[in-house]
Every structure is written in structure tokens, then in C-alpha cells.
Amino acid sequence: MKTVIVAAGMGTRLWRRTYTIPKTLLPFGEGTILSTIMDNFNKVGINDFVIVVGYQSEYIINYIKDNDNLGYNVEFVQNDDWNKGNGISVLVSESVVGNNSFILSMSDHIVPMKALQRIADYQSSHNLLLVDPQISEIFDIDDATKVALDGSKIVNIGKTIEKYDAADCGIFKLNGCFYEAMREALKDGKDSISAAISGLIDKNDMEAVFLEKDEKWIDIDTPSAYKHSLRNIDRNNNH
């Protein structure tokens, strides 16, 4: 199974004044945010990666190639519309993923390996999203994408929904239905991943996989989140 990592955006919320390297190449632990994400997937048995690049793509491509692909199988896909919604970055991966199931990861979410293993191994006929029900312990819950649930069934998703039961951890296990849902969303002028997921929700095709209470994750989307992640590397990257 391939893991698609979307790393095409500019990261303006982290780089507020000057835009230098893509934020996924920021130092983290013994490597970078990107290498940490890839290493964690490798430790659960996934070492085939599709990295979607766009803004300053040469930095990411050169970093991977100069480090012998970090020892993994890596394919790059260019998103020329990187300044639009992140759903387009996932859509362009269809050229190498095809109709196969795949893991989707954001390029700035550090998630513990036990949780990655759980969603990778989870058997379901539905598309899956890793969620954190420990709302009171989530760093910057106001910024998180929220998820409303009926048991394990996902019934709503969005940053501004009023009633929610968990937060989106940025890790999905998807099949080819996602690509079709993304194309349908684009017809309505919506280009985010959440827009496609909402389409799958309308078809009763989204199920939650839950983080356990001792598992912590972080979305490194702002300067404060990055500082928090560096202070809590072991907590947010536990084995």
C-alpha cells in the first residue's frame, strides 16, 4: 500500500513574513518533519511513498534524492495548482495510485506509530479517517478540523461545525471513491480535502478509527504549534 503525502502548499500560517523552505523540511528530532513522518510509516511496514509537491518543489525533491530517498521507494507528483485547495494535491496522485487503496497523510501532522498501525490494519469496506476523541487535550482545538460522529460513523466534518465529537488527525485510508468525490466537489467549486470527504459522508462512506487515550499527535501549522511539537517530541512521536 502506498502512502500519499501532500506537501505542495506554501505554509503561510507558519511562515508569516518570509517564505523559505517548505515547512515539512523544518528540523524535527534527528531529521525533519517529513523524514519523521516517513520513518513512522516505515516502522509500521509501509515504505512506498507518493509525495505531492508544488511550491518550491525542488527543495523537497532535492532533499529526498540527496539522501538516497531516505531508504524508501519514493515517487513525486507535481501539483501546478498548489496555491488552490489541498484536495487538488490528492487528486493528482491518482495518476500513480490508480484504483488501489492508499494511506493519505498531511506533511505537517506527527502521529504516533501505534495509531498509524491501527488505521493501516483496519479492515472496513468504508473510507477511513483517524480521529482523536480526547478533545480537551488537543493543542489548539479551535484551529483543528472537527468531526461529528454517530458511533464510528462520520456524519460531518469541518473547521467551523458547531457540534463535534473528535478532531481530524490528518491520516486517512482511502480508496478510489475519494477521487470521484473530489471531482464532484470541484464541479461545485470546492477544492479542499474536507469537501471530498463531505461527499463521501453523504454516501455513508466514512468511518472513524480512534486514537487511544495515551496517544498524542500534533498538527504543525503555526509557530506556536511547531514550538509545542519540539518541546514534546517523545509525546507526539511515541513508539
Q: Helix, strand, coil proportions of the chain in percent (round to 5)? A: 35, 25, 40
Question: Hey, do 1-110 and 126-214 end up sharing a CATH topology, with the first three levels equal?
Answer: yes
Q: In angstroms, rounded to a whole number, what is the distance separating the alpha carbons of residues 53 and 198?
A: 24
CATH class label, 126-214: alpha beta
What is the residue-level pLDDT of the chain in tens, covering all 239 positions? 999 999 998 865 555 544 578 999 999 999 999 999 999 999 999 999 999 999 999 999 999 999 999 999 999 999 999 999 999 999 999 999 999 999 999 999 999 999 999 999 999 999 999 999 999 999 989 989 999 999 999 999 999 999 999 999 999 999 999 999 999 999 999 999 999 999 999 999 999 999 999 999 999 988 899 999 999 876 555 54
Architecture of domain 1-110 in this structure: Alpha-Beta Complex (3.90)
> Which is it for the CA torsion 218, 214, 138, 164, positive or negative?
positive
Give helix 113-121 / helix 33-43 axis angle, nearest 10°: 50
Question: What H or E segment, with its residue span, contains residue 86?
Answer: helix 86-91
Domain boundaries, the chain: 1-110, 126-214
What pTM was computed for the model? 0.94
Question: Which residues, in sequence order, are CB contacts of 131 under 8 Å at separation 6+?
Answer: 147, 149, 154, 166, 167, 168, 169, 208, 209, 210, 211
Give the closest residue to 103 by CA, choosing from 87, 77, 85, 121. Answer: 121
